[in-house]
Amino acid sequence: MTQKPVTAIILGAGHRSMAYADYAVAHPDELKIVGVAEPDEQRRNMVRERFGFPESRCFYDAEELSKVPKFADVVINGTMDEIHVETSIPLLEVGYDMLLEKPFAVNEDEMNRLVEVVNRNNSKVMICHVLRYNPVYLNVKKSILSGEIGDIINIQTVENVSYHHLSTSYVRGKWANSEKCHTSMLLAKCCHDLDLMMWLMGDDAPVSVSSVGSKFQFRPENAPKESGTRCLVDCPRVDYCDFSAKRLYLDHPDSWEVYVWKDFDHPENLTDEQRREHLKTSEFGRCMFKCDNDVVDHQSVLVNFKSGATGTHNLTGGCAESLRTMRITGTKGEIYAELENKFVKIKTINPEPGKYFNERIIDLSDTPDDGHGGADTALTADFVKFIRDDNPSVSCTSIHNSVAGHKTVFLADKSRENNGQLMYI
């Protein structure tokens, strides 16, 4: 029998929500968008027009939506990190199931409160750990499940954040100040990586964590002596500083445009002069060394697992190139993978004469470059299966599957604040 499409309401009509909601355009038999809750009137109207539902299904926020009778199966919650819990709880209490963007909470108390509500209402909540659906990590997971490299001894994940991304999001942008965004850099940027570690370790649960890190580079005392406070206003280094807003945003106007030109409805139509004038007053035109950023730009995490295996994650910001890598050593071999370069290399022990190991390389160069390598689409398709009880994939992440990774991040940050003190999970 043909099933009806899962009906969904968009909560927070930002970039991530729309990436998942657009699945309904290509697959109307599986997902149908029937409402929106969004404080920005233009965005509300954009969603209503795109998906063709009446104005009576438009709401200002989660609170207003929660006061009307339930009229859809699920909510796609893509609000800002710091309000995930406060926007989710009233809608879960009404009876909605939910696709919830990561991180699903910004501290351990919030995490526990949300999980309690999910348990009490028997809600289905899936967390958007989208990298689990990327072909690189899917192939890593399949190799581990097959037993190809034996039992895991050590897992290493590395994230190099480019200077351009660091500037836009974590020095000048909205995740730069923990008091304003309520998240650490490890939580905002690397809850993906710690989730991947937990997912790949399977039933081998973490038992303790320690961490160190700091804000190393972009501090006022490191600013060049002749530098100004705003690149295009009072800085003589504007044409040659590596971190000049002119060089990062005027010379590369398409990079991170969803953030840099967020105040404009059609940034593609902006003239160079309009962009220049905007940078003279916006947060993205400030000197990189003289912002109000207080999050770390590098951090190392060490995790101990119940089996005795260990895991490390290294985050480094300000790199020439963004790159996620992974190395897993098992009792029978090892796996090395690079996300951006789209390959997985597997070596297994082989002591035959003339050999030391066998090697195979999985070339994923034909993976699409957009939507996290097709993972956005795969995640949304899996969410539909999750709601329908229709055999979701090994990547599917209910909120309960996501707790270990979140708790590891929270304790890692607590350890860092206490000079690397060992924290028990």
The tokens describing 164, both together, are 């351009």
- Any domain includes 42: yes
Q: Quote the pLDDT of residue 2.
A: 66
- Any domain includes 373: no
Which residue in 425, 399, 211, 210 sits closest to 299, CA to CA? 211
Higher per-residue pLDDT: 370 or 232? 232
CA 21 to chain centre: 17
Give the pLDDT confidence of 189-239 residue by residue, as tens digits: 999 999 999 999 999 999 999 999 999 999 999 999 999 999 999 999 999
Q: Using 50, 70 and 90 to split pLDDT, how confident is the model at 76? A: very high
Phi, psi (deg, nearest 5) at residue 155: -130, 130
Give the pLDDT confidence of 5-53 residue by residue, as tens digits: 999 999 999 889 999 999 999 999 999 999 999 999 999 999 999 999 9
- Any domain includes 375: no
Range of the structural domain that residue 107 is part of: 6-123
Q: Both 108 and 138 in a single domain?
A: no
Q: Does the pLDDT of residue 370 top 80, yes or no?
A: no
DSSP per-residue string spanning 219-262: -GGGS-TT--SBHHHH-TTTTT-TT-HIIIIISSTTTTHHHHTT
Q: Both 29 and 83 in a single domain?
A: yes
Which residue in 209, 170, 171 sits closest to 406, CA to CA? 209
Q: Quote the pLDDT of residue 262.
A: 87
Which residue in 228, 226, 267, 229 sits closest to 250, CA to CA? 267
- Any domain includes 80: yes
Higher per-residue pLDDT: 411 or 369? 411
Q: Both 213 and 142 in a single domain?
A: yes
Q: Quote the pLDDT of residue 128.
A: 97
Report the distance separating Cα 144 and Cα 153, nearest Å. Answer: 12
Q: Using 50, 70 and 90 to split pLDDT, how confident is the model at 1? A: low
Which residue in 40, 44, 33 sits closest to 8, CA to CA? 33
Q: Both 267 and 354 in a single domain?
A: no
Report yes or no: 411 and 62 within 8 Å, Cβ to Cβ. Answer: no
- Any domain includes 381: no
Domains in the chain, number? 3
Q: Both 310 and 347 in a single domain?
A: yes
What is the residue type of 75? V
- Any domain includes 49: yes
DSSP letter for 101, please. P
Q: Both 34 and 65 in a single domain?
A: yes
Mean of all residue pLDDT scores within the chain: 95
- Give the torsion sign (CA, 219, 224, 225, 230): negative
Q: Both 70 and 137 in a single domain?
A: no
CATH number at residue 170: 3.30.360.10
Q: Both 181 and 320 in a single domain?
A: yes
Give the pLDDT confidence of 304-358 residue by residue, as tens digits: 999 999 999 999 999 999 999 999 999 999 999 999 999 999 999 999 999 999 9
Q: Both 302 and 419 in a single domain?
A: yes
SS3 category, 370: coil
Q: Quote the pLDDT of residue 371.
A: 59
Count of H helices and E strands in the chain? Answer: 16, 15
Q: Quote the pLDDT of residue 294.
A: 95
Rama region for 32: left / alpha / beta (φ>0; ψ in -120 to 50; rest): beta
Give the pLDDT confidence of 373-388 residue by residue, as tens digits: 789 999 999 999 999 9
Is the peptide bond between 224 and the residue preceding it cis, with omega within 30 degrees of 0? Answer: no
Q: Both 182 and 303 in a single domain?
A: yes
Q: Quote the pLDDT of residue 388.
A: 95
Q: Both 343 and 416 in a single domain?
A: yes
Percentage of the residues of the chain whose pLDDT score is greater than 70: 99
- Residue that terminates a domain, selected from 290, 306, 323: 290
- Give the torsion sign (CA, 258, 260, 265, 267): negative
- C-alpha distances out from residue 185 to 12, 74, 101, 295, Å: 22, 30, 16, 6
Q: Does the pLDDT of residue 405 top 80, yes or no?
A: yes
The tokens describing 94, both together, are 């009404």
- Residue that terminates a domain, selected from 243, 261, 290: 290
Report yes or no: 337 and 138 within 8 Å, Cβ to Cβ. Answer: no
What is the residue type of 146? S
SS3 category, 96: coil
SS3 category, 10: strand
- Residue that terminates a domain, selected from 275, 290, 305: 290
Q: Both 182 and 97 in a single domain?
A: no
- Any domain includes 200: yes
- Any domain includes 379: no
Q: Quote the pLDDT of residue 160.
A: 97
Report the distance separating Cα 47 and Cα 43, nearest Å. Answer: 6
Q: Quote the pLDDT of residue 312.
A: 98
What is the residue type of 6? V
Which residue in 210, 207, 212, 213 sits closest to 404, CA to CA? 207
CATH number at residue 60: 3.40.50.720
Report the distance separating Cα 198 and Cα 375, nearest Å. Answer: 19
Phi, psi (deg, nearest 5) at residue 251: -75, -20
Q: Quote the pLDDT of residue 255.
A: 87
Report yes or no: 414 and 423 within 8 Å, Cβ to Cβ. Answer: yes
The tokens describing 285, both together, are 């035109």
Contacts of 411 (CB under 8 A, 6+ apart): 209, 423, 425
